Structure 1
């Protein structure tokens, strides 16, 4: 069972438009509404893969009630923590050339009692989980050390931890030795405090996070694929993508693919890449099913071209 923790969930509204022109009335050609937040997306992708999942998240107001209903309709078990503030709603607008504009609301501030209740709810279900995926930004009211507390408690319960966050929350959790961290290139550059221009730069940064405590690093590099660095070696995974419709939730789908395939080694990386590639070809934050995957389009190698320049260097 894969338990997900989403401290700042959302209701995600996605629109497809012919073009986005500032100051004009834009008529959408497609729309969808999904429960959102990085951990929620991981649960949705895990459930689509036929694996049991439980989503732990704070919910409040009418938006929170709608998120809970949508998750229930998708067959996802939820362990909600009721909070006073209303769950946020996010908007994404996708153009035909793949350009995506996102507007993310800040979300409610959690009280100390709500923060403690969320931590206790995770702890109450930790013993039943094979993996605990802690994902996304921390809402107002949660200290940067909150994820570090989750890592410490969950390891004590025997669960493995996958951490997908950034900034102070990521750095504070590293000494607890999360089993895998999943930054993108920008988050990785921020964590080490320097720009990343090549795959060699990414590898050095990943090694630095491992020196600080991460047992493995799964770095998402956009069009350049994903780099996995763990005790067994260094691997680069790539996939051919013919059309990008939306990258909302693609990284979350990748993490789900990695975890359902065991969460270690090149086979799990191949699954991560296949899930991420499938997700970007779907509308909004739709999560891929097994029928959407194209494992034959994925390549994984341990011969990493360290001097290869990143398509999108991270400052």
Structure 2
């Protein structure tokens, strides 16, 4: 079983719109309402693959009730931690050329008691899990040291843990000694304090995070592919996506694919790439099913082209 933790979940409303023209009324060509948050998306992708998953979520108000109902309809077990604040709602706008504009609300603040209860709930639920994946931003009232407590609870329950945080917290996250962390190029650049113009620069940055305590680094490089740096070796892969409809949740789908395939080695990287390529071809934050995957299009090598110039070098 794969357990996910989303400290700041949301309802995601996604619209397909014509090119944005500020100050004008736009009519959407398509609309979706999905349970949101990075960890929530991981659970949705895991469930779509037919693998058991439980989502641990702090939920409040009518949006929290709807979020839990939507997840249940998608085959995700929900373990809710009741909070006094109201679960947030986010908006995503996708233009015909694939340009994505997101409006994310800050979400509710958690009290110290609610934060502690969330940790206790993870510790209890993780006894049945092989992996715990904690993803997304921390709510107001919760500091980066919360990750160290979370990792300790997961390990005490006998589970491995993957972290995909949002925000400038990677050094603290790595120091908590999770088995896997999953940054993108910009997050890596911020963590090491310099741009990463080539794949070789990304490898060096990932190795620095491993030196800080992370077991493995699964780096998402957008259209340039993904990189896995671990004790087993360094692997790089790509998977083309002929059409990009939405990148919302694509990184979360890739983490789900990685964990479903065992969470280690080139086979897991290949699964991550296949899931991401499938996700970007779907609307909104829809998660791929096995029928959407094209593993024949995935290429993984143990000899990464270190001089490859990246499309996005990241901005520290």
TM range (shorter): over 0.9
- Checking the alignment, whether the CA contact within 8 Å between 2:147 and 2:176 is kept in structure 1 is no
- Checking the alignment, whether the CA contact within 8 Å between 1:147 and 1:169 is kept in structure 2 is no
- Checking the alignment, whether the CA contact within 8 Å between 1:166 and 1:191 is kept in structure 2 is no
Q: Which residue is 1:35 aligned to?
A: 35
Q: Which residue is 2:100 aligned to?
A: 100
Partners of 1:4 and 1:147 in 2: how far apart?
A: 14
Partners of 1:61 and 1:190 in 2: how far apart?
A: 35
- State whether structure 2 residue 239 is matched by structure 1 residue 239: yes
- Checking the alignment, whether the CA contact within 8 Å between 1:3 and 1:129 is kept in structure 2 is yes
- Checking the alignment, whether the CA contact within 8 Å between 2:180 and 2:216 is kept in structure 1 is yes
- Checking the alignment, whether the CA contact within 8 Å between 1:144 and 1:168 is kept in structure 2 is no
Superposition pairs of residues 1-315 of structure 1, within 5 angstroms: 1-315=1-315
Deviation track 1:155-197 (CA, whole Å, cap 9, x = no partner) reads 1221100000144543223223110100000111111111111
Partners of 1:124 and 1:102 in 2: how far apart?
A: 34
**TM-score (ref. length: structure 1):** 0.98
Q: How far off is 1:231 after superposition?
A: 1.2
Partners of 1:82 and 1:228 in 2: how far apart?
A: 37
**TM-score (ref. length: structure 2):** 0.98
Partners of 2:169 and 2:53 in 1: how far apart?
A: 24
- Checking the alignment, whether the CA contact within 8 Å between 1:151 and 1:173 is kept in structure 2 is no
With over 3 angstroms needed to count, the CA separation of the structure-2 counterparts of 1:166 and 1:204, relative to structure 1, is: farther
- Checking the alignment, whether the CA contact within 8 Å between 1:198 and 1:307 is kept in structure 2 is yes
Q: How far off is 1:303 after superposition?
A: 1.4
Q: Give the SS at the match of 2:311.
A: strand
Partners of 2:195 and 2:207 in 1: how far apart?
A: 15
Partners of 2:305 and 2:165 in 1: how far apart?
A: 27
Q: How far off is 1:198 after superposition?
A: 0.6
Q: Give the SS at the match of 2:283.
A: coil
Deviation track 1:120-169 (CA, whole Å, cap 9, x = no partner) reads 10011111110000101100011111111100121122110000014454
Question: Which runs of 5 or more residues in structure 2 are unaligned?
Answer: none
Partners of 1:100 and 1:173 in 2: how far apart?
A: 28
Partners of 2:244 and 2:194 in 1: how far apart?
A: 29
Partners of 2:260 and 2:65 in 1: how far apart?
A: 28
Deviation track 1:46-94 (CA, whole Å, cap 9, x = no partner) reads 0001110000010001111110110111121000001111100000000
Partners of 1:226 and 1:287 in 2: how far apart?
A: 19
Q: Which moved more, 1:302-311 or 1:170-179?
A: 170-179
Partners of 1:18 and 1:291 in 2: how far apart?
A: 29
Q: Give the SS at the match of 1:312.
A: coil
Query: Number of residue pairs matched?
Result: 315
RMSD: 0.9
Q: Give the SS at the match of 2:215.
A: coil
Q: How far off is 1:295 after superposition?
A: 0.5
